[in-house]
Structure 1
Amino acid sequence: MTRTYLDYNATAPIRREARAAVIAAMEATGNPSSVHAEGRAARRIVEDVRGGVASLCGVAARCVTFASGATEAVNAALNPRFGVGPKESPIERLIVAAGEHPCALHGHRFPLSTVEMAPLCPDGRIDLDWLADACGRPGRALLALQGANNETGVVQPVSEAAAIVHAAGGLLFCDAVQLAGRVSFNAAALGADALALSAHKIGGPKGAGALVAANVDLSLGEPLIRGGGQERGARAGTESVASIAGFGAAIRACVADMAEEAPRLLALREHLADHVRGAAPDAVIFGESAPRLPNTLCFAVPGIEAATLMIALDLAGVAVSSGSACSSGKVTPSHVLAAMGVAPDLARGAIRVSVGWASTDRDAEHFAEAFSGAIRRMRAGRAAGAV
């Protein structure tokens, strides 16, 4: 059976360049912390990629700390000592946008009594008026805000939020995982004090990511992983040279392709949306009135459960999801859609289709055939059951 993969926001297929870089780096025998020739060769691989990550984000190479992925990077950053110098006021409050990834919602190190949830507007973007009021309250705040939502693709007004937070003396941390490789960005334009990135979302290997500082010194905080002092003391443990090499190759590939890929993916997304509306005119596309990533379509068909539809599509050879892949494989109502005020019955039908570097028009046609057939059968079954 032909398989069509449309779940890039969970994990992108590994790029050929990244696979080749991983295999080549496995020949670098030395530990990158060793001073002999073999160690220096491994170190060169790591530092070359560090420069590539820095260039992607518009920061200096010394601002990049490698991690096992974005979840670790977020966990490391969301703590009361986030970039706080000895003469600075401590971070007393954490504000988390209600639609954030679970690693931000549950991975912080703040006392729960100091955590506030920033509401979303119906279009999926953070409520900036609420944020301005919250930042006016006592206590220096840290805001955790995604660059773009992993479920709906809604692009957040990060620079506007940063201006509000900074005016009140606070800091902003941005989960930029879904932005990378899909839209051009840099830390300065976003106004983010630090960013998190992930390799496997852009066609690199799983198990690599980065915490990128822009306006803060992350070495001032307490490292999440302590040990030998690697990564300038910010993250202990021998660097995964092969995974980092693949990360770098994926960055180079997606940056080189981005100017052509963004409009191609947007056209493909709209083609998929047309197929959805053609088979189910009553389908609701979430975040449609807000700026969205060019590759992401999140929708629901009233009366159709996501779990049932996902199984039908999978049996037909099409892989999609119902939202974040980081919820232990459970198909549960989306906290993102709940924060947008979507009715529970409709939210239970949410399907996410996300495309990427290897997606084609043929994939869209396969989806259209599988989706229209599934909807037709489900609605016929419901009609027969109602008789």
Structure 2
Amino acid sequence: MTGRRSYLDYNATAPMRAQARDALHAALALTGNPSSVHAEGRKAHAALEEAREKLASLLDVRATDIIFTSGGSEAAATLLSPRSNLSGAAASRLFLGAGEHDCVRAGHRFDKANVTELALDSDGAVDIEAAAAELSAKGAAGGMIAVQAANNETGVIQPIANLRDACGASNAYIVCDAVQAFGRISIGRGECPADALFVSAHKLGGPKGIGAIALRNRDFAIDPLVRGGGQERGARAGTQNVAAAVAFAAAAEAAIADMESEAARLSAMRENLEFGLLSITPHAVIAGAGAKRLPNTTCIALAGLDAQTALMAFDLKGVSISSGSACSSGKVGASHVLRAMGYDDALTGGAIRVSLGHETVKEDIETFLSAWRDITRSLEGRGRVAAA
């Protein structure tokens, strides 16, 4: 195989932006520990705080409300603790969306007996009416609600403002996984009225291994996961990764600056992809097609398709995509998100995700569609999938 590969797996990780790469390279020259009082330490501290201020501005919080972490998974585990509290009240129960990322589903620190799943509707959005009933029945007062701004598999944007309204007069507080949404759609306080949210650099073109918590409610008290030296105002111990934080801020600024134009560009390419795909395989299903979605994401389910085999076939054709759900072992499993949406096993095990980004061009869509045609025609010939 020769020629340009088509990387269409931005929801897994995005290629590093030039702005982030340049910022990272420059910041690597800072030799001091940002907690040290000497000149080198002060320079590192100044760079770290400048990055913090930039992220705070983009996330609509004060700089003192940004806490750097090693990524989204650590941020989720830090926030989702029964010992975190709001206005002095410890969290009594965790309510989480049925389609949440595994860093939330498996990373929280609540006893399983105190966890309630919030059902999704057939389009993949949290069912607000059902959620309101659960919150009322289980007692949302003092509870914590964990819900994504947008789903990592389907791209479906969650109705967080409606969920906030469903909380009613209870003092339940919302933690939002904004990892996929940050830099792709607006997550201002109107669209995302969460008490706390978390983001990750590598999803928007920054380096891997750096994330951040943004506290939008100043009464939110964190139960630290990593304890020790008292960095990050005691919320996360350990010497900060200054260069990564600087690069994170640079990537985020670049993503936000181009967000509206990129949303229009990527949405148009995604529409072309989905139109072409359904022309080739009319019986394929676009998960969440009836809901508001991230402009870059499409999740395709096709009965009879084996996702793991399909991913390898696409790879051999120079196309990088993901399955609906990839386990840490690299093996593909049935998507819990699609199951929560009511899809049967024939579809949940044969779902693939295509996610576009800042380096995607129309030729990548054409390459994907050509590969999809070849792969599905081969499967049709062997009776594995229904003929078009």
TM superposition shift of 1:135: 1.9
* Structure 2 Cα separation of the partners of residues 335 and 313 of structure 1: 23
TM superposition shift of 1:326: 5.6
* 1:102 aligned partner: 102
**Cα 1:151–1:383, aligned 2, differ >3 Å: closer, same or farther?**
closer
* 1:256 aligned partner: 257
Residue 207 of structure 2 contacts residue 248 of structure 2 at CA under 8 Å; is this kept in 1? yes
* 1:133 aligned partner: 133
**AA aligned opposite 1:74:** A
* Structure 2 Cα separation of the partners of residues 131 and 379 of structure 1: 41
**AA aligned opposite 2:343:** V
TM superposition shift of 1:169: 1.4
* Structure 2 Cα separation of the partners of residues 324 and 66 of structure 1: 27
Of 183, 186, 192, the match for 2:185: 183
1:93 has 2:93 as partner: yes
* Structure 2 Cα separation of the partners of residues 189 and 9 of structure 1: 21
Output the TM-score relative to the length of structure 1.
0.95
* Structure 2 Cα separation of the partners of residues 360 and 194 of structure 1: 35
1:210 has 2:212 as partner: yes
Output the TM-score relative to the length of structure 2.
0.95
* 2:161 aligned partner: 159
1:112 has 2:112 as partner: yes
Identity %: 48
* 1:279 aligned partner: 280
* 1:307 aligned partner: 308
**Cα 1:221–1:251, aligned 2, differ >3 Å: closer, same or farther?**
closer
1:72 has 2:74 as partner: yes
**AA aligned opposite 1:201:** K
Of 61, 64, 76, the match for 2:63: 61
For 1:35-92, what per-residue CA distance to the aligned partner results, in whole angstroms no more than 9, with x for missing partners? 111111111111111111111111111110000001100100001122334xx33211
Structure 1 stretches lacking a partner, 5+ long: none
* Structure 1 Cα separation of the partners of residues 85 and 60 of structure 2: 18
Structure 2 stretches lacking a partner, 5+ long: none
2:269 counterpart SS class: helix
TM superposition shift of 1:127: 1.2
* Structure 2 Cα separation of the partners of residues 380 and 4 of structure 1: 26
TM superposition shift of 1:179: 0.8
Of 200, 203, 217, the match for 2:202: 200
TM superposition shift of 1:344: 0.7
**Cα 1:108–1:353, aligned 2, differ >3 Å: closer, same or farther?**
same
TM superposition shift of 1:325: 4.6
1:168 has 2:170 as partner: yes
Residue 176 of structure 2 contacts residue 197 of structure 2 at CA under 8 Å; is this kept in 1? yes
* Structure 2 Cα separation of the partners of residues 309 and 164 of structure 1: 41
TM superposition shift of 1:13: 0.6
* Structure 1 Cα separation of the partners of residues 120 and 219 of structure 2: 30
2:116 counterpart SS class: strand
TM superposition shift of 1:278: 2.0
* Structure 2 Cα separation of the partners of residues 66 and 208 of structure 1: 7
2:205 counterpart SS class: coil
* 2:319 aligned partner: 318
For 1:107-140, what per-residue CA distance to the aligned partner results, in whole angstroms no more than 9, with x for missing partners? 1111111111111111101111121122223352
Name the Cα RMSD after superposition.
1.6
TM superposition shift of 1:167: 2.5
**Cα 1:326–1:159, aligned 2, differ >3 Å: closer, same or farther?**
farther
* Structure 1 Cα separation of the partners of residues 281 and 131 of structure 2: 37
**Cα 1:49–1:285, aligned 2, differ >3 Å: closer, same or farther?**
same
Residue 230 of structure 1 contacts residue 238 of structure 1 at CA under 8 Å; is this kept in 2? yes
Bigger mean CA offset, 374-383 vs 21-30 = 374-383
Residue 325 of structure 2 contacts residue 333 of structure 2 at CA under 8 Å; is this kept in 1? no
* 2:267 aligned partner: 266
1:362 counterpart SS class: helix
* Structure 2 Cα separation of the partners of residues 83 and 39 of structure 1: 33
